Amino acid sequence: MFNRRRFLAQIGLAGSVPFVLSAFGEETYQDYVEKVLGFRKARRDPKWVDGSMWINAADFSDYGGWVYDTQFAHLMGSGVLLAAGTGRPVEDAKMMFTMPEAKPVRIWVRARNWDRATRPGRFQVVLNGKKLNREFGAADSDEWIWEDAGIQELSAGMHSLVLHDLTGYYGRCDAILLSEDPSFVPPSGVDEMKILRARLMQLPEKPKDGGSFDLIVAGAGPAGAPAALAAARLGLKVALVTDRPVLGGNASLELGVNFNGADQHHPNAREGGICEEATRIRARFDAKEMSLAFGRLADEENNLTVFKNKHINKVYKTGSIIDAVEAFDVCTYETVRLNGKMFVDATGDAWLGYYAGADYRLGRESQSEYGEKYAPAVADNVTMSGSLLAGPKGTFWLTERTGVDVPFQRPAWAYDFPANPEFGRSLKWFQTGDWWFEYDGKMDDLYEAEQARDELLRIYFGMWNWIKNTWERRDEARSYEMEFIPPWFAKRESRRLLGDHVLTHPEALRVEPFEDAVAYAGWGLDVHHPKGVFSGREGPFMCVDHMPISLIPYRCCYSRNVDNLLMAGRNISVSHVALGHVRVQSTLATVGQAVGTAAALAVKYGMTPRGIGQSRLKELQQTLLKNDQWFPGLKNEDSADLARTAVCSASSEQASRPFDEVAGDLTGKPAELTSGRGCIIPWEKGKKLSSLLALMESKAGVGQRVNLRIRAASGPQDTSSREDLLIKWGQVEPGRHWVPFQINQSFDADYLWVIIDKLDSVSWFLRKGTVDGGARTWGSDWKWSSIPGGSMMLFTDEELAAGGSSPASAAVNGIPRPSEQSMNQWASAADQPMPQWLQLDFEKAASIGRVQLTFDTDLNCRNFDTPAFPAQCVRDYRVEVEENGRWVPVVEERGNFQRHRIHTFTARRTSKLRVWVDATHGDRQARIYEVRVYGS
């Protein structure tokens, strides 16, 4: 039987209750369980109205093992109770209701037989301890229908009602209707039903007035939450509306998808701004998901009102301007109207834009349309599939190791994958499921979303059957029992709203220098196969190519035909193929911040979003940079920043990047040389390579000779060459040390594939971040595979010498993060003790009331690897200004863990400012990327 407590322990919540609780402020653990897992409390006591009583699924006071599922409420008008039980019936859902007087009533139960042939989701209704005389969810129809439970004599007073699951296979109940009219048949159409429900639930006829806002953001996922935060911080009165109980979208506690972006494939490329701020909070509280971080940041904004469990399903418009939206509460069904000046669609599915009549695109463009090599010859409606997910670690299913053999029999409705299915995929995590359990992209996951989710159930259970009974490594899974297959459906793709520009793959690949860039992308081109798990040998990807860091133009972020509509997230104006590049969450968070900022400027100047692009672009870009959002080429040109013209000095300066700091980029466990390992690095044709150094560890008691080969490669994924251009050997001694290889040779190749041969008892370390354009390779000579997104600890002597110095002046050079040429930061000398100071002398005395500091949180580390307290980050600091020859403290901060800090204080007239660094989180150097100084 589904065990909630064990489930929570498995997904990692049981041990982390205190911080999870803090995400919900005063609410209790039980509230959390109810909210996130759907065990919501009854909202009301059903009443006898007009000879009938309407009982909603949400009205059950104890959901037992059923979950209250509101995912499809926008299509069917209500949430349902769902028996998500993996083949073992779930605990009963229970409630009481009161009859005002004794009478016979006809009972109707709204249920759905979700697989007509096999009737998997059967359940019973038990009234006052007596089973009604039929099974529900077993009708000869796979639609939602009212099932007649016959006439029952009810006495006046209290009655008990129970939903009793019979199968444990996703039985579902929407509502129960009692009618004193034996001939009454409830309507089946969604609209008629809404009218009846509203009457019997005595819902107000008109939507409640939810207020007027400068900006309304629909959807609070990775894109929507930053959009709302950015705008609220710039002074807008903002409403953030989500139909889920928590913030975060796919990255929430419910679904738990990792935040990825350019950080995964490029050095020093982790996204800054609100994305980094939320990431720091996530890491600080040891959370795996973003609900906690976005929740905390939203709580801090007085200008921001969050509306949870509210699905926007109506738009009020005048001409091409949206005036207001209407949303209904997916638990109470009450409606609310919110008036706004500006709107952001961050719903993923572009519902707001759709209701507003915004132009959109669904599916794949033809190859000829944008010259995209991965596009099909003819355009179609096919999208990437979604997956079922359970948060907060983003697992696809949960299994438990029992210690005894646990047989599994495939339910008749699940797919029966053949013995040798040639999936073209390898199964990595049978314990937690895999990301390629996907349906055929022809499924309509907008209007047949519930059916699409059910199709995933068929696939997931089919996969589990295949693993248990057919897979060649099935012995490993023998003692594992399926614990939970989540019913929550996370989507990868649906509508994309059309802006003034559509970003395409060729543009991203050649890094089109868009003048209106507002964000960057750096994820690979990651387009999943349209046929999902049914693509056979073709595997899970349509394409998965390395991509450069590309720019995202602002023109992709507002609607081309609705004048006050912006968009952020996976529904921005990009082609289907380019979506494969931009659709990851860190990237979308930066798009969100850009769009929220643009909305703030649009309201400030009374302009449309398009108008901002036409006449306030520079201000938009500079405002983003001021708030720690960057893209390549962007430099501080803010004339109000007094620091730009200041002369800098410091207590000490680091002359060049020390060798042991480079070694400090080390990550995780080293890779054992049980097979050959390699690294493909970009090279300049004809350039001479003097030597290479690899960080290795030997557990052999004696020194050994280790072979290194260099081959030519045409790209970062090319492991085709079998021709060694050079073989050298190095000496690896016991313990950990750098192994030098003298090369002294020029290579006429664009990429060098450096391989170290298999060697017993020896390991090669991996490096944090990646070499730009480089890739790890794994394998032996007959079969190599290239693994994008990581690199081995391998340096050219040139790289080690590089790194540049970190003078005080770097803190005002306008670039607040490392570039290829420089670290762009002030770093104190490694041999000088704390405290250390950085001083700014201004051209002339000025009134100063605001200081912005940007610290080093190691943007070279991937988002999900970033530690809570990066050693480089300044922990304790002070700011002083000189007044009449005396240093006066204006800021003192202890325990900082953020990269970007803004301090405002009573303005003081001064010509000198000093930042004291008292302590870091472990690094012996004080590091500051940027100091900005303003009057207010």
Closest to 855 in 3D by CA, of 796, 799, 935, 932? 932
User: Least distance (Å) from ligand FAD to the CB of residue 12?
Assistant: 17
CB nearer to ligand FAD: pick between 452 and 694: 452
d(CA 449, CA 126): 30
d(CA 588, CA 563): 22
Q: Return the SS3 of 282.
A: helix
What does DSSP assign to residue 413? T
Under a CB-based contact definition with an 8 Å cutoff, are residues 112 and 142 in contact? yes
Is position 70 an interface residue for ligand FAD (rule: CB under 6 A)? Answer: no
User: Least distance (Å) from ligand FAD to the CB of residue 437?
Assistant: 9
Three-state secondary structure readout of 107-123: EEEEEECCCCCCCCCCE
User: Least distance (Å) from ligand FAD to the CB of residue 327?
Assistant: 6
User: Least distance (Å) from ligand FAD to the CB of residue 258?
Assistant: 4
Is position 347 an interface residue for ligand FAD (rule: CB under 6 A)? Answer: yes
Is position 241 an interface residue for ligand FAD (rule: CB under 6 A)? Answer: yes
User: Least distance (Å) from ligand FAD to the CB of residue 827?
Assistant: 31
Q: At residue 592, what are phi and psi to the nearest 5 degrees?
A: -60, -45
User: Least distance (Å) from ligand FAD to the CB of residue 581?
Assistant: 11
CB nearer to ligand FAD: pick between 197 and 492: 492
Q: Return the SS3 of 682.
A: strand
d(CA 575, CA 755): 38
- DSSP E strand stretches across 180-232: 208-218
Is position 858 an interface residue for ligand FAD (rule: CB under 6 A)? Answer: no
**With CB under 6 A as the contact rule, which of the stretches 94-102, 240-248, 422-430, 724-732 interacts with ligand FAD?**
240-248
Under a CB-based contact definition with an 8 Å cutoff, are residues 691 and 741 in contact? yes
Name 302's Cβ contacts closer than 8 Å, sequence gap at least 6.
none
584 membership: H or E segment, kind and range: none
CB nearer to ligand FAD: pick between 383 and 504: 383
| Environment class of 133 (CB within 10 Å of its CB; exposed 0-12, middle 13-18, buried 19+) | exposed
User: Least distance (Å) from ligand FAD to the CB of residue 233?
Assistant: 19
CB nearer to ligand FAD: pick between 242 and 910: 242
Q: Return the SS3 of 371.
A: coil
Applying the rule CB under 6 A, the residues between 420 and 449 that interact with ligand FAD are 435
CB nearer to ligand FAD: pick between 346 and 662: 346
Is position 346 an interface residue for ligand FAD (rule: CB under 6 A)? Answer: yes
User: Least distance (Å) from ligand FAD to the CB of residue 557?
Assistant: 12
Is position 239 an interface residue for ligand FAD (rule: CB under 6 A)? Answer: no
Applying the rule CB under 6 A, the residues between 570 and 599 that interact with ligand FAD are 570, 583-585, 588
User: Least distance (Å) from ligand FAD to the CB of residue 385?
Assistant: 8
Closest to 764 in 3D by CA, of 784, 778, 781? 778
What does DSSP assign to residue 718? -
User: Least distance (Å) from ligand FAD to the CB of residue 866?
Assistant: 14
- Cα 452 versus chain centre, distance: 21
Length of the chain: 936
Q: Rounded to the nearest 5 degrees, what angle is found at the Cα of 80, between the Cα atoms of 75 and 81?
A: 160
Residues in contact with ligand FAD, shown as a per-residue x/- string from 547 to 566 under the rule CB under 6 A:
--------------------
Among 351, 430, 630, 765, binds ligand FAD (CB under 6 A): 351
The pair of three-digit structure tokens given for residue 121, joined into one six-digit string? 């989701």
CB nearer to ligand FAD: pick between 491 and 817: 491
User: Least distance (Å) from ligand FAD to the CB of residue 489?
Assistant: 8
Residues in contact with ligand FAD, shown as a per-residue x/- string from 366 to 405 under the rule CB under 6 A:
--------------------xx-x----------------
d(CA 501, CA 508): 13
User: Least distance (Å) from ligand FAD to the CB of residue 915?
Assistant: 34
Is position 336 an interface residue for ligand FAD (rule: CB under 6 A)? Answer: no
Is position 266 an interface residue for ligand FAD (rule: CB under 6 A)? Answer: no
Number of residues that bind ligand FAD (CB under 6 A): 36
Name 850's Cβ contacts closer than 8 Å, sequence gap at least 6.
902, 903, 904, 905, 933, 934, 935, 936
Q: Return the SS3 of 52.
A: strand
Side-chain-facing half-sphere of 758: CA atoms under 13 Å: 7
Is position 494 an interface residue for ligand FAD (rule: CB under 6 A)? Answer: no
Name 807's Cβ contacts closer than 8 Å, sequence gap at least 6.
648, 650, 653, 826
User: Least distance (Å) from ligand FAD to the CB of residue 589?
Assistant: 8
Applying the rule CB under 6 A, the residues between 172 and 231 that interact with ligand FAD are 218-219, 221-224
CB nearer to ligand FAD: pick between 386 and 522: 386
CA distances, 522 to each of 6, 234, 287, 547, 911 (Å): 38, 28, 25, 6, 41
CB nearer to ligand FAD: pick between 242 and 824: 242
CB nearer to ligand FAD: pick between 387 and 622: 387
Is position 490 an interface residue for ligand FAD (rule: CB under 6 A)? Answer: yes
Write out the residues near ligand FAD by the rule CB under 6 A. 218-219, 221-224, 241-244, 249-250, 257-260, 311-312, 346-349, 351, 386-387, 389, 435, 490-492, 569-570, 583-585, 588
